Amino acid sequence: MWKFRQIETMNYNINFNFGNSDTMYLTHSLHPYPAKFPPQLPHTILKQFAQKNATVLDPFCGSGTTLVEARLFGCNAIGVDVNGLSSLLSKVKATPLSERELTQIKLFLNIIACEDLQWKMKRPTIEVKKIEGLEHWFQMNVAEELTHILNLITKLDNENVKDFLKIVLSSIIVRVSNQDSDTRFAAKNKNVPDNFTFGLFLTRANEYLTRIAEYSKKINADGYLKLLNADSRNLSMLNNESVDIIITSPPYANTYDYYLYHKFRKRWLDLDVQYAQYNEIGSRREYSSLKKPAAQWTVDLKKCFSEMYRLIKKDGLAFIVIGDSVIKKEHIKIDKVIKDFIPEIGFEICNIISSDLSEHSRIFNPTFAQKNKKEHLIILKK
Ligand SMILES: C[S@@+](CC[C@H](N)C(=O)[O-])C[C@H]1O[C@@H](n2cnc3c(N)ncnc32)[C@H](O)[C@@H]1O
């Protein structure tokens, strides 16, 4: 539940008490992704501050929450993330499908249902996809079924249909692998029975199909969606002053390794693992394993904020949700850090709305919800 204590200002007060609102409507429930913000957040901001057909940028788009809401609102949406899985997931969640594409998906699911029946009668011997760590992280029966589904997806010719089905497959990989959970990278034996992977794929695909069909009806043809698998410290591929509004949430330093928990998904889908590993900012790897100094976090954030400033039009607003962190036992009050460097960048601070991290659902790691750590919505104007 999101409850923000509001700092009163003349124009930039936003009511962020979303209560127990449904955060999983339409395509928002597709595929697990850690540290998503509630869709009500971009929705409220867009309603209050954006024009229809504005161009919205999320330079840390994660699972695409901002992009889905931007498209629903009739805006153009640009999403950037260093993680290739994020770009694929955001594309699938925010791209409406035609009736023809929806029918192609249904036909594909019929094929998988037939394969499931045939494999129940007699399991064929197939050559499983070679991925690093396969034997440690996957049972052989699971690897066979995943490989078979993937081979059939690869034969399709429509990219939107293929990407949708890849995301369905990706969504079940952690469940059927030996990886403990989405946020715990440890191996455990789950004794997955034969044909369970086919069954789970079909259940998930049918659920996602209903959601994407509902979403597709709500999106009109005007406007565009652009996704970039890139590092937001350097967005030179985007033009100066090409964006009307930014709604985003960068990582909270030393809290998470986004690249790590999606590692097997990316290996199965042939997505690059190393690019995100080496360019993800604020990761636990950087500050807990490689023991980089806290100053690096400020350096990286400054680069990202400079790019946001360059890209946004004059008088445009940037809404940034970011949390405090602890690096080498030093408590980083991130609102203060940003307040200190923001004049150098050029932005004016319109408001900072803060809340205790222990109070709402943005928390994904309970150990992170320590006392005195706050999460902030920082509103900036060019
Ligand atoms: C808090 S999550 C964003 C979640 C998103 N708001 C949502 O609702 O799904 C932060 C994202 O920043 C991405 N990220 C980390 N370093 C990055 C970088 N250098 N450039 C672009 N994205 C980066 C991570 O991959 C992760 O997806």
Please indicate whether residue 319, judged by its CB atom, sits closer than 6 Å to ligand 1.
Answer: no
The per-residue pLDDT for 16 is: 63
Token output for 188:
């455990």
The per-residue pLDDT for 141 is: 97
Which residues partner with 68 through β-bridges? none
Please indicate whether residue 232, judged by its CB atom, sits closer than 6 Å to ligand 1.
Answer: yes
The per-residue pLDDT for 298 is: 96
Which residues partner with 179 through β-bridges? 187
288-325 burial, b at 16+ Cβ within 10 Å, e below that, comes to eeeebebebbbebbbbbbbbbbbbbeeebbbbbbbbbb
Task: Tell me how far the alpha carbon of residue 116 lies from the centroid of ligand 1, in angstroms.
Answer: 37
Rounded CA separation 171/92 (Å): 12
Please indicate whether residue 69, judged by its CB atom, sits closer than 6 Å to ligand 1.
Answer: no
Ligand 1 atom nearest the C-alpha of 62 is 27
Task: Tell me how far the alpha carbon of residue 133 lies from the centroid of ligand 1, in angstroms.
Answer: 26
The per-residue pLDDT for 287 is: 86
Q: Where are the alpha helices (DSSP H) in the chain?
A: 40-49, 65-72, 84-94, 99-121, 134-137, 140-154, 159-176, 196-218, 258-261, 263-268, 274-279, 284, 295-311, 334-345
Rounded CA separation 202/109 (Å): 7
Out of 29, 81, 321, give the residue to mutate to test ligand 1, the one with the largest number of ligand atoms within 8 Å of its CB: 81
Please indicate whether residue 63, judged by its CB atom, sits closer than 6 Å to ligand 1.
Answer: yes
Ligand 1 atom nearest the C-alpha of 35 is 1
The per-residue pLDDT for 361 is: 44
State the pTM of this model.
0.94
Ligand 1 atom nearest the C-alpha of 281 is 16
Query: So where are the chain's domains?
Result: 26-96+225-381, 100-218
For ligand 1, atom 13, the nearest C-alpha belongs to 60
Query: 18-32: per-residue pLDDT in tens?
Result: 778 899 999 999 999
Rounded CA separation 64/47 (Å): 18
Task: Tell me how far the alpha carbon of residue 322 lies from the centroid of ligand 1, in angstroms.
Answer: 11
Task: Tell me how far the alpha carbon of residue 43 lies from the centroid of ligand 1, in angstroms.
Answer: 19
Task: Tell me how far the alpha carbon of residue 103 lies from the centroid of ligand 1, in angstroms.
Answer: 33
- 340, 360, 339: which is closest to 350 by C-alpha? 339
321 within 8 A of 35, measured Cβ to Cβ: no
The per-residue pLDDT for 72 is: 97
Please indicate whether residue 256, judged by its CB atom, sits closer than 6 Å to ligand 1.
Answer: no
For ligand 1, atom 25, the nearest C-alpha belongs to 83
Burial of 163: CB neighbours in 10 Å, binned 0-12, 13-18, 19+: middle
- 36, 40, 91, 95: which is closest to 69 by C-alpha? 40
63 within 8 A of 31, measured Cβ to Cβ: yes
Torsion of CA 320, 41, 83, 302, to 10 degrees: 0
Please indicate whether residue 251, judged by its CB atom, sits closer than 6 Å to ligand 1.
Answer: yes
Backbone torsions φ then ψ of 319, nearest 5 degrees: -110, 115
The CATH homologous superfamily for domain 26-96+225-381 is Vaccinia Virus protein VP39 (3.40.50.150)
The per-residue pLDDT for 47 is: 94
Ligand 1 atom nearest the C-alpha of 276 is 25
Please indicate whether residue 375, judged by its CB atom, sits closer than 6 Å to ligand 1.
Answer: no
The per-residue pLDDT for 374 is: 86
Which residues partner with 376 through β-bridges? 322, 354
Backbone torsions φ then ψ of 197, nearest 5 degrees: -65, -45
Please indicate whether residue 164, judged by its CB atom, sits closer than 6 Å to ligand 1.
Answer: no
Sites in the chain below the pLDDT cut of 50: 1-10, 361-366, 368
Task: Tell me how far the alpha carbon of residue 67 lies from the centroid of ligand 1, in angstroms.
Answer: 13
Q: Could you tell me whether strands 374-381 and 312-323 are parallel, antiparallel, or unpaired per DSSP bridges?
A: antiparallel
The per-residue pLDDT for 59 is: 98
The per-residue pLDDT for 307 is: 98
Task: Tell me how far the alpha carbon of residue 368 lies from the centroid of ligand 1, in angstroms.
Answer: 17
Question: Alpha carbon of 105 to those of 40, 164, 166, 206, 213: distances in Å?
Answer: 30, 9, 12, 9, 11
